[in-house]
């Protein structure tokens, strides 16, 4: 399987926001970079399930949580250092790898970059804290 998913990798994905899904939409409106936050392998021969967080140039609105991406990380994952970038940590998409909404890279694989271990850990810890308070929402994409 090409590009076996790993936490910390950045992929391009047609991310479907919770509000769009609630409104009946079944496909993400645009391709956006996403951080693989979890990989679950069930069974020896089963395809893994991945959970991804979207990356956006929009700062979190008041009351929403997000983590700003530093310039050195933006450079690692192919983002424009001149534009702001945030990992939105309250919404996620989950799907069986490889999902139909993945976008291939020029090399034919799916991975566009990898964040540092320290940055990943800070995102993961923030997501866990939000999850414990019931503030995370996941759109299951396999049913679409």
What range does the domain containing 125 cover?
9-140
pLDDT at 113 over 60: yes
pLDDT at 3 over 80: no
Q: Enumerate the H helices of the chain as residue ranges.
A: 18-22, 71-76, 117-132
Secondary structure of 30-76 in the HEC alphabet? CEEEEEEEEEECCCCCCCCEEEEEEEECCCCCCCCCEEECCHHHHHH
4 part of a folded domain: no
Q: Which residue has the higher pLDDT, 144 or 70?
A: 70
Residue 80: burial class (beta carbons within 10 Å; 0-12, 13-18, 19+): exposed
- Residue 2 is assigned to a structural domain of this protein: no
Question: Tell me, what's the pLDDT at 99?
Answer: 87
- pTM exceeds cut of 0.75: yes
- Which whole number is the average pLDDT over 95-120? 94
Instruction: For residue 1, tell me if it sits in a domain.
Output: no
**Predicted pLDDT at 1:** 43
43 confidence band (pLDDT: 50, 70, 90): confident
Work out the mean pLDDT of the chain and round it to a whole number: 94
Do the domain assignments include residue 3?
Answer: no
Domain count of the chain?
1
Q: What is the pLDDT of residue 143?
A: 66
Integer angstrom CA distances of residue 4 from 47, 72, 128, 136? 9, 25, 24, 25
Whether pLDDT at 42 is above 90: no
């Amino acid at each position: 399987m090409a590009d076996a998913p790993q936490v910390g990798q950045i992929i391009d994905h047609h991310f479907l926001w919770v509000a769009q899904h609630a409104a009946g939409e079944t496909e993400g409106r645009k391709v956006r970079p996403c951080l693989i936050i979890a990989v679950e392998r069930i069974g020896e021969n089963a395809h893994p399930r991945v959970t991804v967080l979207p990356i956006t140039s929009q700062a979190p609105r008041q009351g929403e949580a997000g983590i700003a991406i530093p310039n050195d990380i933006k450079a690692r994952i192919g983002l424009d250092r001149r534009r702001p970038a945030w990992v939105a940590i309250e919404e996620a998409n989950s799907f069986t790898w490889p999902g139909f909404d993945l976008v291939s890279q020029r090399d034919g694989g799916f991975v566009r970059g990898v964040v540092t271990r320290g940055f990943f850990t800070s995102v993961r810890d923030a997501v866990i804290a939000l999850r414990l308070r019931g503030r995370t929402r996941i759109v299951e994409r396999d049913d679409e």
